[in-house]
Chain A
C-alpha cells in the first residue's frame, strides 16, 4: 500500500527522522528509558501525521471552493 497523500508541514520528515533516531538510541540498550522515550516520540508523531493526513483527505475541492465563493453558480443553495 502506497501513501494516498503524505502528511503536510514537514511532519513526514519528522516521523522519518524520529524513527531513525529511535533505532540509533536503542541499538545500544533496548530497554533504557531513553530508548522507550524515543519510540514514544515516534508514536506521537505518527499519530499527529495520520491525523493531519485525515484532515487533508477529508476536504472536498468543490466544498473548499464554495466556502470562499458561495455566490457562484456551482455553489448557490437555497433552502426553499
Chain B
C-alpha cells in the first residue's frame, strides 16, 4: 500500500516566516512511497505523511441558511486573521471562493450535483441532499486537508449553472460554508471546528423583508411563501446539523420589548460545547455559575431598551454546553469595552481586541448587537484553536513522519 506524502517547509508552521522561505509557500510536492520511512531532508523542509496524522490545513465548517449572515460572519472571521478576503484573481468573476493570506473560504453550493434547471425538473430544492454531491465534497475537502490542491467546480448563482472548475490550493485554514457542512458523516469528521448559525423564524422573516422588499416583484406574500415552501426541507436536512456543531449562534427576537417583531433588537445566544479539544468556552464573571447581568446603571448609561446578559450551563441535544446570551443593543463604544472587560476566556491577544475588531467593521450588519459580538468572539476562538493545533504539531514533527 502506498502512502501519500507531502513535503512542505517549516514556514507554514511558523508565525514569523523568514525571507528565504517565502517562495516555497505555495509549492506542494506530492510523491508516493512504498511504505518505507522517509527521513527528513536537510534545511527547512519537513515531511509528513497523510497516513500518519500529518494533516496540515485546519478545516472549519459553517452552516447556515441562505440570507442569514454567513458572508458577514466570514468577513469578521477573515479579519481576525488579518488581511482582506478577496475572490481569486483573474478567474471566474462569479466564483464563490474568498481567499486571504491565511484563509480560503469555499461555498458548498459549488458541490451541487444538479443545476437550477435540474432541480426544477426533479422537483427538489438546493436543501435536498439529492441535489448535492457529498462524495466529491468529501474527496476534495480531504485532499485539501492533506495538502493537495484540487479542481473544484463553481456553481454560478447568477446563471444557475455549474461552471468550469477552479484550482484551490491548500491554505492554512479552510472554511467550508453553506447549507450542508455537517450533513455527511465523512465530511463532518474532517472538521476541526464547526459552527451553526441558527436564525429563528421570526427574525429570518424580518431580515428577508429588509433584504427583499426593495427588490422588484417581491411582496410580503412572496417572501412568506418562499420561506414556507423551503421550510420542510430546511427542517429535515439543515436544522438537524446543529446538534453536531461545536458552537451555535442562536438569533431570537428580543425579550426586552414586549411583542417586538421588527428584528432590529435581538436576543443572541452563543451555545458552546464543553469538552471540545482546543476550545474552552467563554464565561461571564464565574465559570459554571448561572448569572443574569444588566450592565446599565451608575457606571454605564444605556438607552431604551438597554442590555441584558445571561450566562450559565445548559444541555443542548444531550451535550453539556455553556450558554452566553446578550439581549439588546449597544449605542456607544464604551459599553462594549465595559462588557469585554467582564468576559473571560475570549482568547484575545491584548486588552480591548474584541472592541477593536468590532470598531473596525462598524458598518457590517449586527455590529451593534450580540450577533457581531459573538461572531467576533468565535473568530478569536478559532484563531486560538488554530494556533494550538499548529503548535501541537510543531511539538511532535518527528512522530508525524513515523508512519
Contacts and interface: CB of A to CB of B under 8 A. Distances in A.
Interface string B59-79: 000000011000100000000
A25 to B, nearest CB: 9
Interface in A4-26: 4, 6-7, 9, 11-13, 15-20, 22-23, 26
B217 interface: yes
A35 B229 contact: yes
A33 B124 contact: yes
B129 to A, nearest CB: 14
B205 to A, nearest CB: 13
B122 interface: yes
Contact of B67 (A2, A26, A36, A47): A47
Interface stretch (B34-42, B207-215, B263-271): B207-215
- Please tell me the size bucket of the interface on A: 35 or more
B222 interface: yes
Contacts of B233: 36
Contacts of A45: 157
B119 interface: yes
A37 B122 CA distance: 9
A37 B214 contact: no
Interface string B198-242: 000000000010111111111000100110111011000000000
Contacts of A2: 214
Given A22-B226, A46-B212, A32 B123 contact: yes
B238 to A, nearest CB: 12
B125 A36 contact: yes
A56 to B, nearest CB: 13
Interface residues of B, number: 33
A48 B67 contact: no
B71 A51 contact: yes
Contacts of A16: 215-218
A19 B122 contact: no
Contact of A46 (B71, B120, B215): B215
B214 A4 contact: yes
Interface string B237-268: 00000000000000000000000000000000
Nearest to A10: B158
B222 A33 contact: no
B211 A43 contact: no
Nearest to A4: B214
Nearest to A51: B71
A6 B211 CA distance: 12
A34 B71 CA distance: 29
Contacts of B218: 15-16, 19, 46
Contact of B215 (A15, A37, A39): A15
A38 B127 CA distance: 13
B63 to A, nearest CB: 16
Contacts of A3: 214-216
A44 interface: yes
B145 to A, nearest CB: 28
A32 B123 CA distance: 8
B291 to A, nearest CB: 37
26 contacts: A1-B210, A1-B214, A3-B214, A3-B215, A7-B215, A9-B158, A12-B215, A15-B215, A15-B217, A19-B218, A19-B222, A20-B217, A26-B225, A33-B124, A36-B229, A37-B120, A37-B125, A38-B120, A40-B119, A40-B127, A43-B67, A44-B66, A44-B116, A47-B66, A48-B158, A50-B212
Interface of B: 66-67, 71, 116, 119-120, 122-127, 157-158, 160, 208, 210-218, 222, 225-226, 228-230, 232-233
Given A43-B67, A44-B116, 18 more contacts: A2-B214, A3-B214, A6-B216, A11-B158, A12-B215, A16-B216, A16-B217, A17-B217, A23-B222, A34-B123, A36-B232, A38-B120, A39-B230, A41-B160, A42-B226, A45-B157, A48-B157, A50-B67
